[in-house]
Amino acid sequence: MMYALFRLLHLATLLVYTGALLISIIASKPTINGEDVENLAKVDLVGSLALVLAFFFGLSLWLWVGKPPDFYSDNPLFHVKVSLFFVLILLALLRKYLMRRSVGTDTEEISVPSAVRVLLRVEMVVLVTLPILAFLAARGIGLPTTG
């Protein structure tokens, strides 16, 4: 029961992050107004919270709930997945830094750096890769074979 609950919560938080990322991609035009900046900041806050919760639910699934920790710890695909998750966090932090740096005191019309829009798309590619790796690791693909 706990395993199913934690898997559901892990998936739900990742879906919330995906939604926040999609909203950010759609709303990030070359120039946006001050109201859009405030709304994007709220969406980013929800996405950041979802990413943190996804990390803790995933950590719980790995170490305490479900399969033994060694099942995942010995799998190189799982290590790639975890590494990409941290890359996703770093990309999100870099994007937020670049966005905050571009917002000055004049909030009438803000030019969104093209790097921010590129980072959003790279984040989405990394995010789409994560469930594929999770699926493979959960089925034991990538585990070293003995024999």
87-104 residue pLDDT tens:
999 999 999 999 888 876
In a domain, 25, yes or no: yes
CA distance 30 to 102: 12
**Domain boundaries, position 29:** 2-138
Please give the tally of structural domains in the chain: 1
Give me the residues of the chain with pLDDT under 70, please. Answer: 104-107, 146-147
* pLDDT at residue number 141: 87
In a domain, 43, yes or no: yes
In a domain, 146, yes or no: no
In a domain, 143, yes or no: no
In a domain, 8, yes or no: yes
Range list of H helices, the chain: 2-27, 34-63, 69-73, 76-102, 114-138
Kindly report the length of the chain.
147
In a domain, 145, yes or no: no
In a domain, 144, yes or no: no
* pLDDT at residue number 20: 97
Give the β-pairing of 109-111 and 31-33: antiparallel
* pLDDT at residue number 106: 60
